[in-house]
Amino acid sequence: MYTPAHFAITQAVELHRIIQSYPLGILMTAANGLDANHIPFELDPGQGEFGTLTAHVARANPVWRQCANGTEVLAVFRGAEAYISPNWYPSKHETHRQVPTWNYETVHAHGLLTIRDDETFVRGMVARLTRRHEAQEPKPWKMSDSSPEFIDGMLKAIVGIEISITRLEGKAKLSQNREVRDRQGAVEELRRRGEERLAAAMEKHAQS
């Protein structure tokens, strides 16, 4: 990934934050030609040097048969992002020397894939995903809400995967290279449009 130094994210805690805040990743493989699958991941930041990702795919998805254990893969996570108009920059109205751009956060997790086709792993992983994403619901759904027979059948239809992360790359292109007043003008307009996450990220990186 092309990453100028002033856009690079190097702190592991920030890289992990983006993955955990935006867990729908793109699993990219090249075992049988280029392939991409959109999968919600669970990150364990304390397992391994850079963390470990777990997820599941449909048993009917050929990706888990095409990739042997130890296959190198890439999981891409996209954080806050939005279009930025040059009209939001005060300096544009003075010099007319600004152009449109797109601000975004992204993390690339390189790692080694392991297929986990065992019921204990899959059940535990699904339970963790469910607890996390149901936590904000007034009455969180849990696996025991359905009959054991139904859940057993659903679990048999999926296969677990685990990625031991070997390298993390992060990029936050958030107008760090703009004047303070231009960056603030973009933040204010983003907030007006309801893009609070990107506005907050721009403020945070401007201070770091």
Q: Any residues with CB less than 8 A from the CB of 60 and at least 6 apart, and which?
A: 157
| Residues 33-68: tens digit of each pLDDT | 899 999 999 999 999 999 999 999 999 999 999 999
The type of residue at 153 is G
DSSP category for residue 45: T
| Residues 76-133: tens digit of each pLDDT | 999 999 999 999 998 766 777 778 999 999 999 999 999 999 999 999 999 999 999 9
This prediction has a pTM of: 0.92
CATH number of the structural domain spanning residue 137: 2.30.110.10
Total structural domains within the chain: 1
User: d(Cα 187, Cα 201) in Å, to the nearest integer?
Assistant: 9
Q: Which domain holds residue 9?
A: 5-207
